[in-house]
Chain A
Amino acid sequence: MTEPLLSVRNLTVDLPASGDRLHAVSGLSFDMYPNEIVCVVGESGSGKSVTAFTAMGLLPKALKVAGGEMLFEGRDLLKMSRHEHAGLRGKRISMVFQEPMTALNPCFTVGDQIEEIFRTHTKLSSAECKARTMALLEEVRLPDPPRVYASYPHQLSGGQRQRIVIAIALAMDPKLLIADEPTTALDVTTQAQILSLFKTLKTTHNAGILFVTHDFDVVAEIADRVIVMQKGIVVEQGTAEEVLNQPQHPYTRQLIAAVPRKREGAAPPLQEEIALQVKGLSKTFHLGRTLTRKARTVHALHPTDFTVRKGETLGIVGESGSGKTTLVRCLIRLLDPDEGEIWIGDRNFAKGSRESLRAARKDIQIVFQDPYGSLNPRRSIGEQLIGAPMNFGVSRDVAWERAKRLMKIVRLEEEALYRYPSQFSGGQRQRICIARALMVEPKVLIADEAVSALDVSVQKEVLQLLADIKRDMGLTILFITHDLRVASQICDNLIVMSHGKIVERGTVDQVFGDAQDAYTRQLLSAMPGRGWEVPDLDALSA
């Protein structure tokens, strides 16, 4: 067998003393070989990113390597001077980050930022630097390299910026490429393109790729080998085939069980009563109007119609720029639609001033994406929960009783009402946000990317909670998401949006089995992990 490219033995990284555990990573050992993709999988706090940053020598100051070795090309990365390590960075080892929108310096052209790596590590002439840069832009399949070369980061899309970061990482033909959740912030179709790029690079550059992710579908898409980490410890490692299809450790199984999949079995029949009806709703933005220039019009939402029946969960799926956010904002009248009607019961929500809608607002409530930003950090959960019903004239005692009941429904202790947001995890906070929305007994609940920021196992819990609440309370839910897999797990019907229009609608089975629209088919084929059937875990453990 060939020599390992990177050999990690007993790596231990300490957390600061105030942390909830002693080690960020503890006793980590693994080998990586050239021409393979090793996926490190785990949820937040598993130590997967810490491992990546240790190899780069870019650990935050608060974290200290406590022991072990990390041999790369025969030298221990943990024992070399900072200067030596910097000499390897970008040259022999390079890295691609999660957030492409902020990874590039806004003040310099991307051409300059790529060339900088040649200026740092080589003595090439400026003409050669430019030629190599152009070749790289070709390699990462960016359109029109001369234009991109002269562009500033803000002129490029997220996917294009990630390709620039990848080009920088590839510039010196490194032996080890570390990718930290490189597709998590990207749309599904862009993710599919970037993943296929990684697969190509593995062979063309004969490099070892250490790919950090939380998504088992992405693992299924690209991994040769898999390392599963939990709380800083490796719980399982093996070939992709082994780990995906015969997971041994309970935690691995838990993660794989949480992978969102289309719900099987016929959906229960829907009631006839209509909860929400939207007719011809549209919104156009006029941007950048100045004295001398006419406004640029953006049709964020073309005239849109749909109905949601009582007790139905309607999924609205779209990528960034599809118009789904504009739709949501119009529905709850954070934006005023240009035209159209929004009927909830016998009231048209699109009409009347925002002030006059105050009393009607309790009919339609929303749970937002970010559970950390949605709660006031300085008020107790109880105070925040009872505020809304008290606004609508419910007495404090009645509101408090309702809050206690809802805590039970979202599976939190009554005690939680006396505590503050910082004392809860992300998943718990999102459950609190759901309880908050339900406090005024709405007719329609909008979940706007409500599980997108959560770890997979937590995501599964929250989805289950929503499904239970819907069943028990007969709630009508509008489930807004970019992720078809998640939508297919919880929704009865789906709407697919693109460029401000509904391009596809139907039951989950119709959309998945027989999509009519080209964009929907593209979205479906871009979903990672399609070739992988989640194994029957009950059968495995038997």
Chain B
Amino acid sequence: MLRYLMQRIGLALLVCVAVSLLAFTLLNASGDVAISVAGEEATAAQIDAIREQMGLNRPLLVRYGEWLGNAVQGDFGNSLFFRQPVGELIADRLPKTMTLAVMSLAVMLLLSVPLGVVAALRPNSLIDRAALLIAVLGQAMPNFWFALVLIVIFSLTLGIMPPSGSATLKHYVLPAIALGYYSTPPMMRLIRQGMIEALSSDYIRTAQAKGIGATKIIFKHALRNAVIPVVSLSAVQFGNMLGGSVVIEAVFGINGLGFLAWESISRMDLPVVQAVLLIVAVFYIIVVLAADFINAWLDPRIRIS
């Protein structure tokens, strides 16, 4: 088990380095920072001077090493646009996006697990079809539109939820519903399929032969086996929510990481983009790693080979 954990962590670190190297190289190849810093009117000499001043004329690998060394200590340099340390910017924005992602994940699981289980108990019944309909609606609607519908109903008409901002947890409820609902269908299908498979397996028959009650069979014996792939997909979905929440952040006026990344890309604010990329990648890798560990804990076949 310990060996398994160490292997996974080692692999995760390697992926982190690879991702950061790739991000750094690609971003530097995508445009000249010196030109964008100097402004449109600058002469070639001015640009060269800026290049010299920022150290951009040194080899890429050297700059990468320097950047990574600083990044590990939390120093991502200064934003070219905000004129403040990137670290501070991220410390301000990251918690908002994390809150949104965690709450969206919760919404997704709260929706998809019960729907999937209920659908699997009576496959192809009316309940199954209804559950499927609810889930598919989530993906059929563009999520910004669904977000607007939520605002119209709960904020403008009923007046029980704030329409935008990120001051309190309550502000995150509607965005989390919009984002979580959108990710529900694949998850619900996975749970439904997993439960159908588990419920028709031989060990369920053995459990029935022992005289165990139906509830315990469903929740102990079947669900435990059905959730194993769910954990992996949750990790992927969580990654999508971290990196892909920009539309929802924009609709609800949440000043999160996604929004920051979008702004910075359009302004060619390279230090910020690089930092956001790295942070999101690292979080994503951590979540996938956590999913591996949870799976190892859930599934003894992984834990003990």
Q: Which residues from chain A sit less than 8 Å from chain B, CB to CB?
A: 56, 58, 86-91, 94-95, 97, 99, 102-109, 116-117, 120-121, 152, 154-155, 165, 168-169, 288, 290-293
Contacts and interface: CB of A to CB of B under 8 A. Distances in A.
B43 interface: no
Which of B10, B201, B206 has the largest count of A CB atoms less than 10 A from its CB? B206
Nearest to B213: A86
The 6 closest A-B CB pairs, nearest first, are: A90-B211, A89-B211, A90-B210, A102-B202, A152-B300, A105-B203
A168 B206 contact: yes
Interface residues of B, number: 25
Contacts of B10: 291
Contacts of B203: 102-106
Contacts of A292: 3, 6-7
Given A89-B211, A117-B211, A288-B305, 16 more contacts: A88-B211, A90-B209, A90-B212, A94-B210, A97-B206, A97-B209, A103-B202, A104-B206, A106-B299, A116-B207, A120-B211, A120-B212, A154-B300, A168-B209, A292-B6, A292-B7
Contacts of B205: 58, 97, 103
A105 to B, nearest CB: 4
B13 to A, nearest CB: 13
A102 B300 CA distance: 15
12 contacts: A89-B209, A94-B209, A97-B206, A99-B202, A102-B203, A105-B203, A105-B221, A106-B225, A106-B299, A120-B212, A120-B213, A121-B211
Given A107-B225, A290-B7, A89 B208 contact: yes
Interface in B285-305: 298-301, 304-305
B171 interface: no
Nearest to B207: A105
Contacts of A104: 203, 206
Interface of B: 3, 6-7, 10, 201-203, 205-213, 221, 224-225, 298-301, 304-305
B168 to A, nearest CB: 40
Contacts of B211: 86-91, 117, 120-121
B206 A165 contact: yes
Contact of B304 (A97, A155, A290, A291): A155
Nearest to B198: A105
Contacts of A95: 209
Contacts of B6: 292
B208 A107 contact: no
Which of B205, B221, B304 has the largest count of A CB atoms less than 10 A from its CB? B205
Nearest to A117: B210
Given A117-B211, A290-B7, A107 B206 contact: no
Contacts of B201: 102
Contacts of A120: 210-213
A152 B301 CA distance: 8
A18 to B, nearest CB: 16
Contacts of A108: 224
B3 A103 contact: no
Contacts of B299: 106-107
Contacts of A168: 206, 209-210
Contacts of A152: 300-301, 304
A95 B7 CA distance: 43
Nearest to B214: A86
Which of A89, A104, A105, A116 has the largest count of B CB atoms less than 10 A from its CB? A105
A314 B215 CA distance: 54
Contacts of A109: 300
A169 B211 CA distance: 11
A94 B205 CA distance: 12
A106 B301 contact: yes
Contacts of B224: 105, 107-108
A77 to B, nearest CB: 13
B191 to A, nearest CB: 16
A105 B304 CA distance: 15
Nearest to A91: B211
Nearest to A171: B210
B206 A116 contact: no
Nearest to B200: A60
A121 to B, nearest CB: 6
Contacts of A87: 211
Contacts of B208: 58, 86, 89
